[in-house]
Structure 1
Amino acid sequence: MAVVPEHRLALLGGGFSTDDDGLLDDWVLDQVRAARPKVCFVPTASGDAPAYVEKFLAAYKSRSCEPSVLPLFRRELDDDALRTFLLSQDVVYVGGGNTANLLAVWRAHGVDRLLREAFDRGTLLCGISAGANCWADGSHTDSFGPLTHLSDGLGLLSGSVCPHYDSEPGRRSSYQAAVATRTLPAGWAVEDGVGALFTDGLLTDAVTRTPQALLYRVEPDGDDEIKERALPCRLLVAAQQPTSPA
């Protein structure tokens, strides 16, 4: 019988762009069975910012993987080559920036369709900030300036996502208001430092690099009220370095 690939994606509240310990990056790579997984960074939301790309390469070239970058503002691959490239990846890591712009550019180049195909084939999709927002039905975003809702995601994860739940003023109250009024569907609020893995639409792992960071499930509860539930997160710790014999 043919093996049906799992559909997996991860919401990240940190990683190489914000943290020095590399714990969330190592956790992402641990989700992949390949000895040297192919990891593609997609920096569309930042306009393919060169410094962002350099930071990714510096972080991942030192790890046991094959890192690459997909630029779209100066695209080099034709449609066939683009499909072949994306479908060969074990991990697609989407960077932060502007969620609305990210989705518009992807749709113009057909990347949204290719990522759905990669997802169906078992590629792990993940990302931080806009790179977390994009996978859900809707998201909480500052893509248009003030904090607001965006009901225009890829829909690979049911519900909505709110990044930076604890670190940006107004995020918590604004997201809660959007869920309470059903402007956004129930969803997941990610504090900085957290990683949340979903397998076939279900939460299968929740981790944090800092003891105080949490993942929340936020749902409407009655008339313009919400129910916020903190979910336990497994604390990530740095691997112990072997000691030299005396």
Structure 2
Amino acid sequence: MGKIVAIGGGEILNNETFIIDKFIVQFSEKKNPKLLFIPTASGDSQGYIKTIQSIYGDKLGCIIDTLLLINNDITENEIKEKILSSDIIYVGGGDTVKMMEIWKDRKVDIFLKEAFHKNIVLSGISAGAICWFDKGHSSLLNPGLWDYEPAIGLGLIHGINCPHYNEIGHESFDIAMKTEKLPGIALENNCAFVIHNDNYKIIKSNSNKNCYYFKNNNGTIEKNLLNNSDFLPWV
């Protein structure tokens, strides 16, 4: 059991990730799936909420709900009910570290792990990709600046994730991997790493974007392109 779609980046409103978004909906195996959007990393951005409604609701036929955690008195039971009654969870981008702090305080992390074992599709972009891994490589939200900020994820995918790997400054991930014991997954924008049970595959909404696998072999970095569109065993 377990379904995850981790997207490296891209402008959802401009349909840059639409092929991936469509796959996420199909992955639920429901005609009109219930999608819960979690915009914690963006500070519960209202504009982001409207974008998800436009793409996943209006275009892809999902029934949209939103989990607002900032300045909201929602109870623990209400949070649990929203998460576990969904067919799809979509986590938006933004500040990964802050998001994980809020999740832990509100027990969202616990309920998302339960959702994974219930075969609910877990998905997201940027911070919403990092969160499913053991760790993430974050850019501190400064465009073009990659001051390394480690982010601890939920550990549902074994490894460390770097989104936006095609953007300026991505070399900091290559450097970080020289002292990293975990396997690394670097995702360019418009590219997604998909997990189903213990298998993985790559989905792209732009054929020119890529996903790379990193492994530290006693200080020597192994870097390989992952391009399989069919499921293969994950480490």
Give the TM-score normalised by the residue count of structure 2. Answer: 0.89
1:226 and 2:221 aligned: yes
> 1:59, 1:23 → 2: CA distance?
11
- Rg comparison, structure with higher value: 1
Q: Aligned to 1:100, what secondary structure does the other structure show? A: helix
1:7 and 2:2 aligned: yes
Identity %: 29
> 2:26, 2:132 → 1: CA distance?
21
Distance 1:99 1:151, change over 3 A: closer
Query: How far 1:16 sits from its partner (Å)?
Result: 6.0
Q: Which residue of 2 aligns with 1:50?
A: 46
Query: How far 1:15 sits from its partner (Å)?
Result: 5.9
1:78 and 2:75 aligned: yes
Q: Which residue of 2 aligns with 1:194?
A: 191
> 1:84, 1:133 → 2: CA distance?
24
8 A contact 1:214–1:233 mirrored in 2: no
- Tell me how large the CA RMSD over aligned residues is: 1.8
> 1:120, 1:201 → 2: CA distance?
13
Q: Which residue of 2 aligns with 1:104?
A: 101
Letter in 2 for 1:170: G
| Residues 144-223 of structure 1: pairs in structure 2 closer than 5 A | 146-150=146-150, 152-167=152-167, 169-171=168-170, 173-182=171-180, 185-203=182-200, 205-223=201-219
Structure 2's unaligned 5+ residue stretches are 230-235
Q: Which residue of 1 aligns with 2:112?
A: 115
Query: How far 1:14 sits from its partner (Å)?
Result: 4.1
Query: How far 1:23 sits from its partner (Å)?
Result: 1.6
Q: Which residue of 2 aligns with 1:124?
A: 121
> 2:111, 2:45 → 1: CA distance?
22
Return the structure number with greater relative CO, CA threshold 8 A, min gap 6. 2
> 2:31, 2:122 → 1: CA distance?
18
Structure richer in helix, relative to its length: 2
> 2:95, 2:111 → 1: CA distance?
20
8 A contact 2:67–2:82 mirrored in 1: no
Post-superposition CA distance 1:183-224 (Å, at most 9, x none): x62121101111221122431x2111112111111111332x
